[in-house]
Structures are given as structure tokens and as C-alpha cells.
Amino acid sequence: MTKSKNQRIAYIKVEMMNEYQEKRKTGTGQVSGEVFRQGSDQRRRVRRPEQTSHSQNRTFQSRDLAHQPQGTYRAEYIPKSRKTTNRENISAAGTRRRSVSETGRTGYPSAGGRTASTRRRSSGTRTPGASSGATGNRTAHSSGSARRRVSEPSYRSVERSRSVRAGERAGRKLEELEILEQENERDYQEYLERKRKRQERKRREEEAQRRRRRLMVRGGGAGLIAVILIIVVYRLFFSNPVLRTVTVEAGAQDFQTAAFLRRDVDAEFVTDMSQVDTSHVGEQKVVLDAGGKERTSTLVVQDTTAPKAQPETAMINIDGDLSADELVTDIDDATDVTCSFKEKPDLSQEGTVPVTVILTDEGGNTAEVDSEVEVIVDTEPPVIDGVAPLEGFIGDPVSYKSEITVTDNCDKEVDLEVDNSDVDTETPGTYDVRYTATDKAGNTAEAETTITMKEKPDNYVEPEEVYAEADEVLAEITTDDMTLKEKARAIYDWCRANIGYISTSDKDSWTNGAHQGFTQHQGDCFIFFSTAKALLTEADIPNIDVVKSDTSHSRHYWSLINCGDGWYHFDTTPRTGGGEFFMLTDEELLSYSASHNNSHIFDQSLYPATPTEDSTIE
């Protein structure tokens, strides 16, 4: 039902109640002529105002506003039922008829069964024998009564017609109200029916949605279980048992096939893992035979450990060139390390300058090392060590610098030039060789020696063969975690224990002497020297050949080695008078030589000086 229809019903109700209140205020006590049509016979029923109001109040009840559709009028009333309304109207109409029959049509009570109008008409009849005056009076009185009789019925007729019209209006209003109420009830019932259908449809939709949700959950669970089973079966029986990528830390060794497998299967490496280099960050392909089929995996080498190093002070000439790697030593990292300055040092004035060096490895890991630079005016020339007589074979290349070392107070690397313009490598003989070293400050140093060219013996042993023999021995007596001094001691002990001394040997070349020491395990001092030389060289221990300067009594050979804290004498040849010759200083060796017929006398100007104290390095 629309809002205008509800407003009309409310308006009619308010208008009827106002009319009733107005009647009560004027004191008429009743509303005569309030009639309306009821039912199909269109009977008129007269109801008292208070009865009508009472019946109306009982007939209508407030409708629950929560059931009203949106947009409808909310102050409406509806009949309880059709039977209740008819019953109340009939009761009110019966009471009204009884009242009318008792009081008469005029509304005044009767006396002796006669109405007031009958009494008035009787009193108006003339009596015989009345006087003329009385007659005149009566005439006049009768004329006035006639007027009153004429005016009183006219007034009552007008009043009655007015009440009838008011009743008709009220009846029409009530009839319209009843029609509107019926339409309202019908609309309301239709609304309830639509609401019930909507609720039922919503309930069915929600139930269907719940069923679909349950089916989806069940189907999804079953599908998930099926997918998991498929994945498990695939991984167990059909997937590649070899991992696509394997990540290792730089420097890793001793690879196992289990590290490349995702499940336990028979597998072996096809790739030679000894050739796999893990000293650089990067990727490498590794092939395995897993389950009878070759599979490829990617070996990823990463470096997550920061490098380490020890600071080292340096001395440099004013405005000299200084690299960051000159200020650090003993760099420890599995990959290559680059050095750089955190801030470029000022080398324009003499004095001590603090410097911070940044170490960066291939994995991007960094570390800082604090060091110092001593800035001086450099006037000291470099020192050339290891200058000794050389031997060469005709037809073979000659190495002039292999035994030469150059040191400087400022520069770690010094340019060394060799003047061999007088040497004829195709003609046997002895020739002069000159060395010149120049540091960055322009200071120079010179040294001279000789080289003897001779024919290569028929039984000459190539250096490569000797170095291979030395590697076999080093694999037995040294390990990678040993220091240079520990390796030197192991070499010294091996030569003393495995080579027997005899007074003669082949001195045509040191390689022949070393080969004799490795194969025959006997010889004189040259064999001991040559064998130790091969072992020291392959162990990366710097060494210099030393030759006895006074050969009037006998010849003798030994070495100078540097394990990190200076040059020391190293002689593996056993002496009849006994003695230990492992890393001796110049003073110690010359003292022994003086008491043993100049056994180790040498030209000190040709070799670097040793420290004055014993070696303290581990």
C-alpha cells in the first residue's frame, strides 16, 4: 500500500474523532443520523458517538511496524476481524433503535402514550362559550402558536436533514475507511506472502550454497590429497634424484655424491672432482651417474667469510707511489682478495701516517686493517742477494734471475736488470754477468758474477723430472696446514734419514745430483744439497745456493732459506764431527767453520746477511 493511501486513512480517522468531540462539546449528547452501509444489503445503522468510538477503538489494533515494507505509512490501524466489526456494529444499532422507540422521533420522552406535538395540538382547540376577548387573545395566541408550530417543525426538519447529511458523510467516510482498510489488509497480506516467499527463497539459496560449499570443501580436500599423492609418487619413482643446484663454501674439498642427491640411489661422479676449482666464486657443471642415467647438477661456489690479514708497516719516499697491498701480510681467504685504501694517505711530508686498508674478497665480504706508513727521504740503494757463479748447458736456455733476490728499505718490488751481453751460450767457456737494481727513489745497486757454459752430459736429467720426484716425497712428509718452517724441518729430517754419505758424486748438474739422491739415496755434499734444493723449491720455500769459497781443501755446497723472518743457513750434509745445521745465523755457522778447518767459509758479500738472533717463527 502506498504512503498516500495510509495518509488518507489516518486523515479520515482524525476527522471522525474531531467531529465526535465537537458533538460532545455542544452538548447534543448524540449524533443522530450517523449511518453507514454495512454488507451487501446496504442497511443503515445508527450508532452513538461513544459507541462508535468504543467499537472503533476495539476494532482496530496497532500493526507491528517491523512488518511494514520500506516506504509505507507507519501510523495505521487494521480491523481485528470482519466478524468482530459486524458484531459491534449490530450491537450499537440495536441499542439505538430501542432508544428511538422509547423517546420518539423528536427525541423527547412521551406522557401517557402521547407525544408533545399531540398535546400541543390538543391545547390549541377552542372551548365553546369563550369570550370574544378571549377569542381575540386566543386568536392572537393561536396565530403565534401556528407560527411556532410552523417554525418548530421546520427547525427540526432542517436539523434532521443536517444530521442525516452528516450521518451520510460519516457513513461514506466509514465506508471509504473500511474499503481502504480492506485494501491495506490485502496489501499487507500480499507483503507478508512476498516476504515469506523471499525468506523461503533465501533459505533455499543459503541451503544450496551450504551444500555447494560442503561439496567444494570435500572435492578440494579430495583433490589436494590426490595432488599430494601424485607428487609423492612422482618424487619417489619418477623425479630426478639429482639436485639441480648444490651450494658450497669457497675452498670446499672432498665432495660426496650424497650431497648432490635428493634421495638415496646408487650414484657416482662422472666429472673428475679433483679438477673442480672452488677457489673462485661461480658456477660449475657436475655430471653424475644416478640410477643408471647421467644427470647434471650445478655446483655453486659462494664465499660468505670475510678475509683476514696482518698489518705491516711500510717505509716510502716522499711523494712516492704506495699500493694498499704493501701494508698487509698473511692474507687469509678462500678466494682472491683485493686491497684498497679507505682514504688515500698524504705522503707529501715526512713523518708517520696512519692508514686503513680495506680487504675485499670475491664474495663481496670486506674487512679493515689499520697500519702505518713511515714517510722519509730515501737515499738508500737496494740490496742484491744470491749472486753466485752460474752454470749453463749449450743449447739450453739460461736462467739468470732464478737465484737472485733484491730487497729495498722502501720498495717491495725493485726492478732488476741483467747484462749478459758478453755471454756466448753456443760456445763453452766462462763469461761475466752484471746485475743492476733500481728502486723508485732512483737509488741503484750493482753486482757481478760469472756463468760457465759447457756441453750437456748424455745422462742429463730435466728439472721437470726432478720436481716430480720431489712432489712424491713432499706428499708423504708434509701437509697443507704446515708452516714453511715446519716443512723445512721435515725436509731436513728426510734428507738426513734417507740419504747415505759417500765421498763421490756426479756434479755435472744439480738435477742429476737430486735425481741420484731420490733414486740411489746416497752421495756426497752435492747430492744432499741438490736433493734438498729440489724439495725446498717445490715446497715454495725461498732458497739460495751457497758455495764454499776456499776450495783448497775441499768443495762444499749448502743453502740459505727464508721462512718468513730472514735468511738462515740450511745444510743437510752430515758431518763426522756431528752438528746441527738447521737455520743457523752467519755467526753460528762461521764459528763452527773456524773450529772445523774452514768447512763453511764463504764470501759474505755475495749473499744476504742473516739475522743476529735465532729464528722465532713457528
Mean pLDDT, all residues of the chain: 79
Residue with the three cell numbers 755471454: 423
435 with 414: CB under 8 angstroms? no
Strand partners, 134: none
Give the helix/strand (H/E) hosting 75.
none
DSSP letter, residue 201:
H
Give the model confidence (pLDDT) of 316-365 as tens digits. Answer: 999 988 889 989 999 999 999 999 999 999 999 999 999 999 999 999 99
Q: Which residue has the higher pLDDT, 393 or 338?
A: 338
| Number of other CB atoms surrounding residue 94 within 10 Å | 11
**What DSSP string runs through 115-127?**
-HHHHHHHHTSPP
Q: Which residues are paired to 367 by β-bridges?
A: 359
Rounded alpha-carbon distances, angstroms, from residue 267 to 222, 258, 292, 472, 570: 37, 8, 8, 31, 50
- Dump pLDDT digits (tens) for 49-69: 444 444 444 444 444 444 444
99 confidence band (pLDDT: 50, 70, 90): very low
Contacts for 290 with CB less than 8 Å, ≥ 6 apart: 241, 242, 261, 265, 266, 267
Which candidate, 93, 53, 70, places its Cα nearest to that of 2? 70
* Element (DSSP H or E) covering residue 29: none
pTM of the model: 0.47
Total Cβ atoms within 10 A of residue 236: 10
Q: What is the DSSP string of 228-290?
A: HHHHHHIIIIIS-SB-SEEEEETT--S--GGGGBSS---EEESS-GGG---SSSEEEEEEEEE
For 120-169, write each residue's pLDDT tens digit: 444 444 434 434 444 444 444 455 555 555 456 666 777 778 778 887 88
Nearest CA to 303 out of 321, 269, 280 is that of 280
Amino acid in the structure at residue 35: V
Answer with the residue of higher pLDDT: 617 or 340. Answer: 340
pLDDT at residue 129 in the model: 41
Strand partners, 436: 417, 446
Encode pLDDT of 278-325 as tens digits. 999 999 999 999 888 899 999 999 999 999 999 999 899 999 888 899
Sign (positive/negative) of CA torsion 459, 460, 462, 463?
positive
Mean pLDDT calculated for residue range 192-200? 91
